[in-house]
Structures are given as structure tokens and as C-alpha cells.
Chains A and B, each alone.
Chain A
């Protein structure tokens, strides 16, 4: 059965005809259409969902991309853009009778301008490669999603990727100056500018997190920041999650904006400790990792204050990294939390809701209750500074019904996030994965507004159809399952 709820209108070209048409634009080895060569493209970072692509095109010039889009536009063939394929919500999941357009070959840094502190990049440049290239000038690119070694900047813009330093340095949208894209009709447009803002409406903001539904990103200009003189990390252990939550609020209320502020619960701590021996106390109910950066003088002053605050909030153990090796070791536990948890269970399902920080203790208690009810363990890793939760639900896909159970559990967690005033996705995107939960977060009128905006960029709805924004029909079918604020969602719609 297809993962997509609705059928696409029939297209006028067969696969063979499409391949033949593409051969006029691309060399034969840049077109994939045999099952064995399509297999590597059947999923992105969310491997639970797979579909074999129809045809894959791997252009390496802008003119080729333009010609492909014009071809697809004239034959009304939908296009799904793919970057490095590390997305966690199935945004690049292929679909039958849709062209999968890989932008992976566009991996050149076009210009690194240390004087204006910006870098002009092709969309396939890896996130980490930007900071590596800028380091020679004492500069770096701030957003650091955990996949930064592999993920590419075009995908980062499409997903508005975050990372562990968002509270202080923002998301991708806060660090990009200009994006060039091709609209579905193959026309080029530039949003933003090389200055700090651009003329007219802030369409640059809208492109961030648009998940390949508005255009094909062909160039990104990012802002580079000076590498801080000093970064220091402190670990605090707590006997209860509410105490750790209160400590987070106390640090922020004291006027300190840490570069990173992460929390892990007991199961995550034990998994990470077992895996990389970061030096975490395995008997703690929760640990906090608080990173401060700035000049040496600034960091020393703030460390002292954070130390006092954490003590006052009941930290049972406090450890400051004495050197860079210890700092990296403390981070290593957090950064390898996902694979560490992966060793506990054949499969895990990573959620991405964001909540107001004050709701933390209540939400984690409810997740623990749900875990009991579903009989599936959960490890919690939390970007505590910005309220972004990553509950990891452990399950075994080989046991009949467990994936469905894990998905239902995950959906309930997302409902919980909405109920406390949060959102279903903080940084991983909606993609195909959370499309049903969008119906709970947004009203029909809001979804219709999203669709109107989509038509402003892509009138025929050919870019990444079926992702990110659900159709009202899909919500009407799904909405019957959910009662939102005591009311049935989308009461004005027919039920099927």
C-alpha cells in the first residue's frame, strides 16, 4: 500500500518515455531507472518509510536542472528534490510517477568572503564543510544539526535545520542571507540579498522549512560568525527531572544564554555511558550539559554563576571540563545518544516535538505513563534550552504490530506537545511522517492559507506533492480519529 493517502492525477509520459526525454538533457549515467540502481534512493534518514523511485535524475549543471524542470513542468510530472538524504521526516521519500531530483553533485563552495563574513554555496555543500573552510579565517557557520558531517546546506534550508546551539545562535533561517532557487517552471529567482535584508516581502523566511514544496534551491549564501575565543562545558546531575527542569529555567531567568543546554534522562544517560564512557553518573535521574562560550573573561564569570545556580537547584554532582579533551568527552555522550540508544533495541522511533520549557516535567511524566501503557521503553534526549524534545521510542519492527504501536505512541506524544502550547516538530520537519498531526495543529483555514501560498510559487502543485501540508480531505479522514479542544477537527468538511 502506498504511504500517500491520495492518488496523483495521471501523467502523460511512461517511464521509458521519461528516460528518453531526460537523455536529451543528461548523460546516461545521470539517469537512474533500474530497480537495483534506484534502491539507494528509496528512503532518506527516516528509513521506516520506503518507496522505490520512478526515475532519479542527477544533474550537475544549473542549465540541466532548468531543462529538467521545464520538461517536467510541460508534462505535469511532479518533482521531489533530494539533498544528502539525511532528513528525518521522509521529506525526500520518493513516489511513483514523480521524478526524484538529486542535487548532490552541486557541492562546490563558490565564494568564501572573510571580509563580509559570508559564504556563497552550491546546495550540496555539506554543513560541516562550511565551517572547515571558514576556520582558516577564524570564522564558522553556526547551525550544527547532528548530521552535520553528511547533511547539505540546501537540505538545511529546506528543513530549517537546528542543532544544539539554537538558543544562542538560531536556526538555519537566522544564518542565511540569500537563497537562489528555480521555480517549477524553470525560472530563476533570488530571495534576500548579500546585505542584511532584502527588498519587499521576506520570502527568504518562507523558503526556510518549505520542504521542497516551493522551489529547487540552487545557491545559498550563509552568514559566518567569529569563532568564540573560549567554550566551556559543565555537567550537572539531578535526582529528579523537575529539579533539572527548574535549573534550566533558573539559568535563563538569571540572564545567561548558554551556547548549548542539553538534558538527558536516566535511560539515555545509561545508554550513552555504556557506549562511549563519557563519565556520566548512571544513577542520576537526569543530567544537564551547559556550554558557555565567548571571551575567556566572559566565560569564567558565567561559569561561576551557573555553578552557583545549579547548586542552588539541587544538583547532586557538578563537573566542569578541565580541558578541551574533557569537554569533547562530555559532549560525546550527548552526541552519540541516538546510536547509543540504538544499541538497546532493534529499532527506535525519534520524535521531535517542542514545548514551552515550563511544561517539561508534566510532559515527561505523561510520556512515562504512555510508555507503561504501550509497553515500549522511551529514552529522552532534550534540547532543554529551546524546548525541543527528542523522545526515542524503542521497538522491534520484526515483532508484528510493534511499528504501528510505536507510531501511535509517537502520535500521542505530539498531541501532548500541541496541548501544552508547543509544536509537532522543532527541527526535523513534517515530511510524510507527521502529515496527519498537522491536522491537529492547524485549522482548515490555516491549512488552506498554506495551500494558497504554495500555489503562489507552484500553481500546478508539482513540487513534492503529498508532503508537509496535508490536504483537507486527508485531514477529514484522519480528523475523525482526533478530538481537538473538545471539538471535532474540520467540522465543515464531509467525512469519507
Chain B
């Protein structure tokens, strides 16, 4: 296993950028460059060299690794001990790093049932915009000392500093998994998702591809079989491949040239009409759709449904890729950014144009 600590070099590099007030673009495996806005910086801090698992004890259910560690390596290490990342993160490329995964904050199909990426973050070591090395959170499940700044780094798109290492809660691999499939119309699929969600079933994914509803069950052999007998449906062979295609967006649905929008809504939200095709994941709480409609109209639509939208891939970069913030919420975002990175050194403009 490759083990290298570059924290001192980085700290020095950031000190120099601080002195010159010159911004930096943070890049890990460059697998999620399509996501978010383009950072307004020409100089790059490449994080892949700072890598290696620092600590992993399966019985503690915690892994700590440097940010540049390949995500694949983390997952392989965990799988050797029958464990996994419960939030099933998308890699979007073979070089995806742990740091990039945390900074992007994206979770896969298991998210509604096992928790999001940020739910699994226990601690981080970072370098902030004053070139200070800081550690927040820890390696234990329960920790309320100080503000929970570790989780704040999840999904911050590198705008609050450089992540050096992360401690994550991990989960045991399910003993067995089974995917069931049901052919039905979209309204029926949405209704069925909501009908089964309040039931105590070992559900671990529920998505609809436009023609078929796929439900994944995870748990003990008898528990899964019992749930299957209640649900019916066709059992899907090689379902792992299907769920990987969903997670990585390599499924044919995701190979479309139009801009791809992600709309997050309360799960029981009725069908959102926008464009021709849509993919419903997370038991109804995450809707993927292609549309050339103006971003303003889509943001407003998402808001009407009690959720928020983001332009996930493709399209001309509009002013806002993520749901625009207003009023006090916008003010708190700007203040928080400046509290960590007063000179706006890190990934300026990557999340919102104004910071």
C-alpha cells in the first residue's frame, strides 16, 4: 500500500499562496471536474500524492485515510473485512480519490436507507485558508465537543480548505442482497415506492428507470427471503452490475447529450414533468432529468416542490449550477466561507459565483 504524507509541503505551498493572495484549484483524481462550477484559479494543488490508509480496525467500524487515497483502494480494503462505505459513493472515474469523494459529498442508491456521505464523516484534518492545520471531529461515533466542522467539509467542493485525511464510519457488508423488478407506469412506481417505504422491510435501494421499478433488499438470508415473499416481483440476476451502472451513471439512460439535472424533493412528491425522460432514485427523493429549460425555471420548479435542483452535467455553464441562495442563507454562506478562507484562496467560484 502506497503511504505518503505531504501535509507539510502543502502547508508551505498554501502559506506562499496566502502571501501572494493567489488562488488555488484543488484536484484529486479529476473524476468529478464536470460537477459544480469551474473554479476561477489557474494554479493547481494536486492531492493524489498524499495517500494511504492511516488506521483501520474493522471492529471499531472506522477507517482513517489520507485524502489522495484512491477510493477503489478504500473499498477493496473494507471488502477484505466484509465491510463497506454505507453511502455507496459514485466514483465517476477510476482515479477517484477519497478527498474528492468527501468534497463532492455525493451518495449512491443506498443513501435513503443507510445514510448520506456526511452522515458517515466522523473527523477530518484540513488546512484552512490561513495555512493552519486543523483537526475536527475524531474517530468515535459520538462526539459533541466543539462545532461539527468535520461534516461541514462534506460537499463543500474544496471551498473551505484542503482535506488532508478523513475518518469515516463504515458498515458491515450485507450477508445477502436481492433485487426485485416490477414493470409499471411512473405513477404506479411512485405509489408503490411510498406504499412500501413505511413498512419495516430490509430495503437498500429503490429506483425507477422509466419502465421498471427495481427494489434492492439487503440483510440476513431469511430476512431477505421473507421480504421477497411479501413483495413479489421478478428476481434480477447480476443485479450488482445494474446498481453499479446506476451509481456511476454508466446506465444507457445517463448517456444523453442534453443537460442532466438533479432534483431533490420529498420522496412522495408526484411526477415532476420536465423533458422526456427521467430516472427516479432514492425511493422518490432524487429525480434525474434531461432538459434544455432555463435554469431559473428549473430552480423555481424544484422550490415549488419543497426541494432544490442542480445542473449535474453538461450544458452551458449558467450563473448558478446549484439552487441559488438568498437573504440570510446567502449571507451565512459568504460569512462561513470567509471564516475558513478569508482570502478566498480555495476553489473560488466552484460552488457559487460569489465565493
Do A430 and B60 touch (CB < 8 A)?
no
Q: Across the interface, which residues of B come within 8 angstroms of A166, CB to CB? A: 141-142
- How far in angstroms is the closest Cβ of chain B from A386? 4
Let me know if A364 is at the binding interface, CB within 8 A.
no
Segment of A7-15, A92-100, A235-243, A290-298 engaged in the interface with chain B: A290-298
Instruction: Say yes or no: is A29 at the interface (Cβ < 8 Å to chain B).
Output: no
**Segment at the interface with B among A324-332, A340-348, A439-447:** A439-447
Q: Mark A393-428, 1 if CB is under 8 A from B, else 0.
A: 000000000000000000000000000011111111
Q: Does B226 contact A (CB under 8 A)?
A: yes
On chain A, the residues within 8 Å of B292 by CB distance are none
State whether the Cβ of A434 lies closer than 8 Å to any Cβ in chain B: yes
Q: Kindly report which residue of chain A lies nearest to residue B82, judged by CB atoms.
A: A255
Asked if B225 and A117 sit within 8 Å, CB to CB, the answer is: no
Contact of B220 among A229, A298, A388 (CB under 8 A): A298
Is B136 in contact with A116, judged by CB distance below 8 angstroms?
A: no
Instruction: With both chains docked as a complex, state the minimum distance between the C-beta of B58 and any C-beta of chain A, in angstroms.
Output: 6
B352, A200: Cβ atoms closer than 8 Å: yes
Chain B residues within an 8 Å CB radius of A110: none
Residue of A nearest to B284 (CB): A116
Check B223–A294 contact: CB distance below 8 A: yes
Interface-located stretch among B26-34, B147-155, B241-249:
B147-155
Q: Is B12 an interface residue (CB 8 A)?
A: no
Is B351 located at the chain interface by the 8 A CB criterion? yes
Alpha-carbon separation in the docked complex, A297 to B227 (Å): 9
B: number of interface residues (CB 8 Å): 88
A200 to B119, CA, bound (A): 16
Q: Which of A139, A294, A438, A453 is B339 in contact with, Cβ under 8 Å? A: A453
Chain A residues with a Cβ closer than 8 Å to the other chain, count = 96
Partner of A446 from the list B134, B151, B154, B226 (CB cut-off 8 Å) is B134
| Chain B residues whose C-beta falls within 8 Å of the C-beta of A434 in the assembled complex | 145
The CA-CA distance from A257 to B329 in the complex, in Å, is: 37
B349 within 8 A of A: no
User: What are 21 A-B interface contacts by the 8 Å CB criterion?
Assistant: A166-B141, A171-B142, A173-B148, A188-B328, A193-B307, A195-B264, A197-B116, A198-B308, A200-B351, A202-B118, A205-B154, A229-B200, A255-B175, A298-B219, A298-B222, A354-B141, A356-B139, A441-B145, A449-B132, A449-B340, A450-B146
Give the 3 A-B residue pairs with the shortest CB-CB distance, closest first: A298-B223, A255-B172, A456-B335
B interface residues, Cβ below 8 angstroms from A: 57-62, 82-83, 105, 111-112, 115-116, 118-119, 128, 130, 132-136, 138-149, 151-152, 154-156, 159-160, 171-173, 175, 194, 197-202, 219-223, 225-227, 264-268, 282, 285-286, 306-308, 310, 322-323, 325, 327-329, 332-333, 335-340, 351-352
Which residues does A use to contact B, with CB under 8 Å? 113-118, 137-139, 159-160, 162, 166-167, 170-171, 173-174, 183, 187-191, 193-203, 205-206, 208-210, 214, 226-229, 249-250, 252-253, 255-257, 294-298, 300-302, 354-358, 383, 386-388, 421-430, 434, 438, 441-443, 445-446, 449-450, 452-457, 468-469
